[in-house]
Structure 1
Amino acid sequence: MLYIIGLGLADERDVSVKGLEIIQKAERVYLEAYTAVLLVDQKQLESYYGRSVIIADREMVESHSDDILADAHEKDVAFLVVGDPFSATTHTDLALRCRQHEPPIPTRTLPNASILTAVGATGLSLYNFGQTVSMVFFTESWKPSSFYDRVAENAGLGLHTLVLLDIKVKEPDLKAMARGKIIYEPPRFMTVAQCASQMLEVEEEREQGVCGKERLAVGVARLGSEGEKIVAGTLEDLASADLGPPLHSLVLCGRKMHEMEWEYVREFAVDQAKFDRVWKAEYEGKG
């Protein structure tokens, strides 16, 4: 059987008791390490689990999944996922491959906390969230703005938008590849400040007011850990906010933000008077 096991958001202790028991008995244990990362390294996981872990990068999962699934119809294989197993379509694809395998490979999923639910720690109601979007690192020649259309749809309904920020783990250096060498770039993790700045940059082009300077937003970092941090303000405020080490996410507040949500979120504001002024002018009574 293939066990797809959610590890939660922070460290090695977030795994469920059921998940840990399976990990310790499985024939092989893989850790998917590119859609998200834990706040601890491989050695710390292995020490806690009491066994070795095979790192499964993007290439292995997407191009060599047969290696992961080998003998899984006869033996137990554990595939570990940061957060919740089905928060990323990558893991749905792996489960589908098990169904299509000959003979079919039985699967079992063990859920856990993910950013999709942990973001409720901001005080924003999960019932009031619309479509989740992703923000990638801009380059000089590539600044995709398709996220803006989904944010606009959410904004039209007064809903909050969770923005998942780009991470680059084991990304090949394209210039080196052109010379026939395989060299990987150092890991990079987008910050709330970078995300807010890119949203403001796209707003300058679109000019629809969806991601304007005075749109209220909440930045979060390392949710679920002892060092979690939450900062609220306008997008302009967050474009210069420092939330420390990764992982970061951002929520753009919908105009139907309830008074109870405002009362909770304002405690995280970098400038509470400004936050209250914008809320009363643009959000209060819109729900």
Structure 2
Amino acid sequence: MLTFVGLGLYDLDDISVKGMHAIEKADHVFLEAYTSRLMGTDPAAMEERYKKPVQILKREDVEQHPEPILAAAKVGDVVFLTGGDPMVSTTHSDIRIRAAEQGISTRIIHGASIASAVSGLSGLQNYRFGKSCSVPYPAKNWFPRTPFETIQANLAADLHTIVFLDIQENRYMSVREAVEILEKLSSEEGVSISLYVGMARAGSPEPVVIAGDAAKMLNAEFGPPLHILVVPATLHPVEEEYLRIFADLK
């Protein structure tokens, strides 16, 4: 059996009771550590709470070499832990398909997702979001334009955009860095983004939510990671009021 368990947004207490029961029964526990991170805990604390080893998985372990995970699931109970909700990432859908093709039973235990937390923190109505996008760190001779193209398409349809920020092994993109990238792209296109909503540490006791133009975002203090960004479309009056009260929209 291969059980996908969502850890929620921030720390050890976000996991569901059902998820904890699955871990207690598991013969092997794997933690996918590249699509998201729980900044309020770490693998050592997880092992202490779960009373068993937690094997860390890198991207290549899941996407290219999942054989050890699947082999263990053929003969025992395996739990595959992810931040947020397990099936938000297509990577996880792929390994579930591979398991099914090998006759391995699977199930999903959902966790709180950043996709829903964004709506709660910002007040932006969830049915008004279009396609999401990710902003990666630019590399030498590579400055990706796809995120801005997605935002433009959503704005043309009057839809909000969730912008996921790059997570690398030793660094986490901030709202400030993401806005700098998007402002460079918008300048090159001769258009402007009039409003951003930045959020930090969703699920923590004191998340930060700030709404404003690029100048405000570039000077705002969001604190430690993880950060996420939204580019809103036209605001409904209730959305606007919510941002004024809870995100310092002027």
Q: Normalised by the size of structure 2, how large is the TM-score?
A: 0.95
Note the residue ranges of structure 1 that are not aligned, 5 or more in a row. 170-186, 276-287
CA contact (8 A) 2:28 2:72 kept: no
Structure-2 residue corresponding to 1:46: 47
CA contact (8 A) 1:196 1:236 kept: no
How far did 1:97 drift? Answer: 0.6
- Work out whether 1:189 is the aligned partner of 2:172: yes
- Work out whether 1:146 is the aligned partner of 2:140: no
User: Which one-letter code corresponds to 1:14 in the other structure?
Assistant: D
Structure-1 residue corresponding to 2:29: 29
Higher RCO by CA contacts (8 Å cutoff, separation 6 or greater): 2
Structure-2 residue corresponding to 1:261: 239
Structure-1 residue corresponding to 2:226: 247
SS of residue in 2 equivalent to 1:189 = coil
Structure-2 residue corresponding to 1:233: 212
Structure-1 residue corresponding to 2:83: 82
- CA displacement 1:161-196 (0-9 Å, x = unmatched): 110000102xxxxxxxxxxxxxxxxx1100001111
Runs of 4+ in structure 1 deviating by more than 6 angstroms, as ranges, are none
Matches within 5 A, 1:202-241: 202-209=185-192, 211=193, 215-241=194-220
User: Which one-letter code corresponds to 1:87 in the other structure?
Assistant: V
Q: Hey, what's the Cα distance between the residues in 2 that align with 1:44 and 1:15?
A: 14
Note the residue ranges of structure 2 that are not aligned, 5 or more in a row. none
How far did 1:63 drift? Answer: 2.2
CA contact (8 A) 1:30 1:80 kept: yes
Give the aligned length.
248
Structure with bigger gyration radius: 1
CA contact (8 A) 2:7 2:15 kept: yes
How far did 1:227 drift? Answer: 2.8
Q: Hey, what's the Cα distance between the residues in 2 that align with 1:58 and 1:160?
A: 29
- Work out whether 1:107 is the aligned partner of 2:106: yes
How far did 1:268 drift? Answer: 4.2
Q: Hey, what's the Cα distance between the residues in 2 that align with 1:15 and 1:249?
A: 21
Structure-2 residue corresponding to 1:123: 123
CA contact (8 A) 1:232 1:268 kept: no
Q: Hey, what's the Cα distance between the residues in 1 that align with 2:227 and 2:176?
A: 10
SS of residue in 2 equivalent to 1:205 = helix
